[in-house]
Amino acid sequence: MYDIREWRHVFKLDPNKEISDEHLERVCESGTDAIIVGGTDGVTLENVLELLGRVRRFSVPCVLEISNLESITPGFDFYFIPMVLNSRETKWIIDLHHDAVKQFGDVMNWDEIWMEGYCILHKHCKAAMLTAADTELEEEDVVAYARMAEHMYHLPIFYLEYSGSYGDPGLVQRVKQVLMKTQLFYGGGIKTAKQAKEMAKYADTVVVGNIVYEDIEQALATVKAVKQ
Ligand SMILES: CC(C)=CCC/C(C)=C/CC/C(C)=C/CC/C(C)=C/CC/C(C)=C/CC/C(C)=C/CC/C(C)=C/COP(=O)(O)OP(=O)(O)O
Ligand SMILES: O=P(O)(O)OC[C@@H](O)CO
Ligand SMILES: [Mg+2]
């Protein structure tokens, strides 16, 4: 399924983490809509290429979520580019992007590239710490970022990121109410089918990450829960 607007469930695999061939096969054949390859730290060209090669044995769409310039490589179906809307440093909103477009502009296929407006809400996650994200936000702050993503920047994706911690379904519901065109991704702390189903009531697309490495059966159960 190559229309990202139809994706309801995706697995995010971290190139810096080990996964056996058996588990990878089960993840790729689970019925999930796509695999996102991405992580905050330890992402190298070598481990990205290794994971890409292994995922490519299956027909599931495969996305590179870019976290640094060194690990960008051809071969993915799509490239997702995060910009952290609630970062206190322009580096994570525009500067790295400027450097990258300066370097890759001539070879960029814009049809494969999707911008993600991140709002990172879990204070202690690696992505929040790296990007100096302001996580002390009121509901209305988050809603304002969502509106900016859609109406000011025309971003295709607004990503509510609670990486490592289960978020507030009420907030996801509230954000969904103000988005008409921009697709709402929710990711963070989903460990059970029940949680996946709950977030899928409000988010357009649910992202399941770390539980793949902790409890493969629970991870796989999230697919059916979201798609039912
Ligand atoms: C040759 C070729 C194929 C060219 C392709 C052209 C192309 C696609 C060029 C890219 C152009 C471009 C504009 C690139 C952007 C460059 C860049 C480095 C932007 C900054 C991205 C950014 C804000 C990164 C910060 C970290 C972040 C938000 C990462 C996202 C992933 C994430 C949140 C993972 C979760 O990690 P976490 O849970 O914290 O970690 P653990 O699970 O390990 O605890
Ligand atoms: O790893 P978890 O906590 O499931 O989060 C998924 C994803 O949103 C991380 O970027
Ligand atoms: Mg992770």
Neighbouring residues of the ion ligand 3, judged by CB less than 5 Å: 209-210
DSSP E strand stretches across 39-107: 62-65, 78-84
Report the number of distinct structural domains present in the chain: 1
CB 199 within 8 A of CB 169: yes
Query: What is the per-residue pLDDT across 49-69, written as a single tens digit (0 to 9) for each?
Result: 999 999 999 999 999 999 999
**pTM reported for the whole predicted model:** 0.97
DSSP E strand stretches across 96-149: 113-120
223 C-alpha vs ligand 1 centroid, how far in Å?
Answer: 24
Q: 164 in ligand 1 pocket by Cβ < 6 Å?
A: yes
130-to-50, 120, 136, 162, 194 alpha-carbon distances in Å: 25, 11, 16, 14, 30
144: domain CATH number? 3.20.20.390
Interface predicted TM-score of the whole assembly (ipTM), two decimals: 0.95
Per-state percent for the chain, helix, strand, coil, to nearest 5: 45, 20, 40
Nearest to 49 by CA among 64, 68, 28, 32: 64
- How much of the chain exceeds pLDDT 90, in percent? 99
pLDDT of 2 higher than 90: no
The whole domain housing 200 covers 4-227
Q: 67 in ligand 2 pocket by Cβ < 6 Å?
A: no
Query: What is the per-residue pLDDT across 123-167, written as a single tens digit (0 to 9) for each?
Result: 999 999 999 999 999 999 999 999 999 999 999 999 999 999 999
Q: For residues 25 and 16, give the distance between their C-alpha atoms in angstroms, rounded to a whole number.
A: 18
